[in-house]
C-alpha cells in the first residue's frame, strides 16, 4: 500500500510506501468503520421480507375488518 503526498506550492508529487504498522492501522480503522455502519445498508434476507409481508397483510386484514364493521 502507498500514499500520495502533493506539495501544493511546488506541485511535487511523492508516492510513499506505507509501513506495516501504517497498513495495520488503516485496516483496523476500516474494520471499525464497517462495524459502525447501520445494518439497514445490508440487503434483507428472504425471511425478513416474508415477515414484513406477513405483518403488512395482517394490518390490511385488520383495516378491512374495521372498515366492514
15-19, 31-35, 36-40: range with highest mean pLDDT? 15-19
Q: What is the per-residue pLDDT for 43?
A: 80
Predicted TM-score of the model (pTM): 0.47
Bridge partners, residue 17, by sequence: 2
Q: What is the per-residue pLDDT for 35?
A: 85
C-alpha distances out from residue 67 to 39, 56, 61, 63, Å: 37, 16, 10, 6
Q: What is the per-residue pLDDT for 31?
A: 92
DSSP letters, 20-69, are HHHHHHHHHHHHHHHHHS-GGGSPPPHHHHHHHHHHHHHHHHHHHHHHH-
Amino acid at each position: 500500500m502507498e500514499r500520495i503526498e502533493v506539495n501544493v506550492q511546488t506541485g511535487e508529487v511523492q508516492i510513499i510506501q506505507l509501513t506495516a504498522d501504517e497498513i495495520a492501522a488503516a485496516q483496523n480503522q476500516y474494520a471499525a468503520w464497517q462495524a459502525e455502519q447501520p445494518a439497514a445498508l445490508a440487503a434483507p434476507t428472504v425471511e425478513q421480507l416474508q415477515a414484513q409481508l406477513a405483518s403488512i397483510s395482517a394490518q390490511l386484514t385488520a383495516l378491512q375488518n374495521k372498515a366492514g364493521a
